[in-house]
Amino acid sequence: MTLNRELRRLFFGLLIAFAIVAAAAAYWGIWERDALLAREDNPRLVEARAAIRRGAIYDRTGQLLVVSEVEGQRVIRRYLRPETYSALGYYSLRYGAGGIESDFDTQLSGSTLPRTVEDVLLNRPAVGASIQVTFDSSVQRAVINAMSGRHGAVVVMRVQDGALLALASLPTFNPNTLDQDWERLREAPENPFFNRALQGRYQPGGAWQTPLLAATLSTGTVADEVLERAAAPVRLGNLVLVCAQMPSTSDLTFAQAYAYGCPAPFTTLIAPDNNRAFLMLPPSFPPAPAPTATSAEPPTPTPTAPSSENPLRDNLLGQGTITVNPVSMTMLVASIVNGGNAPQPYTLAALQPPDGTWQAQSTASPTLPIMTAETAEQLRGLMLNAVNTGAARAAARPDMEIGGHAAFAYAGDGALSWFVGFTTLNGQDGIAVTVVLENTRDADAAATIGSTALAAARDALLVASSPTLPQTGS
C-alpha cells in the first residue's frame, strides 16, 4: 500500500514533467516560431533560397540571358551575356538581389505562384517563372562596345510604349563571380554597384537646355529671334562655361544657341519678363520613372556641382541644385517624338510560369503630358537641326534621321558629356536615347555612342517590331 502511494506520486510527477517538455516544444515550435525562422543565422533560410530554381531571363528576341542550373543540391545562377550584366543586376544567396533580379524577384523565385498539392506534400522547392525583358542583346552589345569602357550611362527607349531596349551602366561587375568579388567591388572607388542609368542623378548642365527650351517655346517665344553675344562665355564660380561647339558668329538665335550648346541665352530667362518660362516647368520635372518598371532603388545624387551666389541662374545653367536621371531625360526626349507625351518606361515583356505558356505582360503605363504637341514639334525640328549643324553633328548618319543635343555639365571636379537624341520610325513611333559620360568633355563621343545606340535599336526593331517569345521552356 505504501509503495502504491509513492508510485502514485511519481506517476503525477512524471506526468507534469512530460507536460512541461511538451509545453516547451510548443513554445519553440509555435510561440517563438516566426522569430526563430526570421533570424539571419538560421541556415534554413539560405538553404530554402538555394533550393529555389529561379526562372530564366530572356531578351526581347528570345535569347537566353540568365539561367539557373542544378548542380548537386544547389542551384547555380548563370549570366550568359556580358553586355547585359549592368542591365540585369545580380542574384546571390549571400548578398541578395539587385537590378532586374530584384525588381522581378517574386516572379523569378516563384514565391507568389500557386503550387501543386504534390509539390506541397513532398516539400519540393519552388520553381520560379521565366521572364522576357524588353532589352535587346544586340542593342545592348552595340552600346557597350561603343562606350569602350568609358564610365557613364546609356538609356535606349522605344517611344511607342516606353519599352527599355538597352540600359547600360559602366563600370559594372560580373554577377557570375559576385560572391568572390564582393569585397573588392564594394571598396572600388569607381563604385561598380552604382547603377548609373537607374540610380544616377547627374547635373544636366547644357542638357538642361532641352527642357528649358520646351518651357520657353510654350510661352510663345520665337526661337528665331536673334540674341546678341549669345556665344559669349558664362562664368560660374571659378568655371567658365562655353558652347559645346563654338559657332562662327557670336550673335545667335535661340535655335542656333541650342544647337551649339551655348549657355548664355538661357541665362536671360531669369529676366522678369521671361522667368515665368522657367517656372512653368512641372514641379516634378523631369518625371521620375515608375519605380516598379525600372528599379526600386532611389536615384543617388552625383557630387556637388560648382555654384555661384545666384542659385536661380545656376539652375538655368543646369548646375547648382538641379540634377536629373538618365531615364527621366530619355522620357523627355521620347515625349518630343510622341506629341509631347512621355511614355513611362518598363522592362517586363512576357512571363512564363513553370510548366506554363508565355503570357505577354501589358506593363506599358499611360503617358505623361510634358509639353504641347506644337512645342514638341518645334523642339523636334531644333534637335534635328542640332545634329545637322550643331554640336551633336557626330550623331549624324546618312541613312537615318537623327535629332539630338550634345552638351557639357560639371560635377565635383569633373565634367560630364551629355547627348540626348531620337530617331523616328514611322508616325509617332521612334527611339529615344540618353548618353552621359563621366569625367570627359567630349560631346562627339557622347553623340557617337547615342547614334550607334539609335542605329542598333532601329535595326533591332526592323527585324522584330514586337518581342519574339522564347521557343524553349523555362
Residues sharing a CB contact under 8 Å with residue 86, sequence separation 6 or more, in sequence order: 99, 167, 168, 169, 170, 172, 195, 197
**By CB under 8 A, which span of 23-31, 134-142, 219-227, 426-434 interacts with other proteins?**
23-31
Q: How far is the CB of 414 from other proteins (least distance, A)?
A: 45
Using DSSP's 3-state secondary structure scheme, residue 418 falls into: strand
For residues 459 and 143, what is the distance between their CA atoms, to the nearest angstrom?
A: 13
Give the H or E element holding residue 130: strand 130-133
Residue listed under C-alpha cell 548537386: 72
17 touches other proteins by CB under 8 A:
yes
What are 259's three cell numbers?
544647337
CB 474 within 8 A of CB 129: yes
Binding to other proteins (CB under 8 A): which residues in 120-139? 121-123
Exposed, middle or buried by CB within 10 Å (0-12, 13-18, 19+), for 38? exposed
Nearest CA-CA partner of 150 in 411, 444, 458: 444
**By CB under 8 A, which span of 28-36, 61-69, 130-138, 197-205 interacts with other proteins?**
28-36
Binding map of other proteins across residues 228-267, x = CB under 8 A, - = no contact: ----------------------------------------
Cβ proximity to other proteins: between 6 and 187 the closer is: 6
Binding to other proteins (CB under 8 A): which residues in 405-464? none
70 touches other proteins by CB under 8 A:
no
**By CB under 8 A, which span of 3-11, 141-149, 215-223, 226-234 interacts with other proteins?**
3-11
366 touches other proteins by CB under 8 A:
no
Q: How far is the CB of 73 from other proteins (least distance, A)?
A: 11
CB 450 within 8 A of CB 419: yes
32 touches other proteins by CB under 8 A:
yes
Q: How far is the CB of 13 from other proteins (least distance, A)?
A: 9
Can you tell me which of 5, 71, 224, 462 binds other proteins, judged by CB under 8 A? 5
Q: How far is the CB of 41 from other proteins (least distance, A)?
A: 5
Q: How far is the CB of 94 from other proteins (least distance, A)?
A: 15
21 touches other proteins by CB under 8 A:
yes
10 touches other proteins by CB under 8 A:
yes
Cα 367 to Cα 163, 268, 303, 375, 404: the distances in Å are 12, 32, 31, 17, 21
Q: How far is the CB of 28 from other proteins (least distance, A)?
A: 4
Nearest CA-CA partner of 127 in 75, 86, 165: 75
Cα 59 to Cα 87, 103, 285, 466: the distances in Å are 11, 16, 31, 12
3 touches other proteins by CB under 8 A:
yes
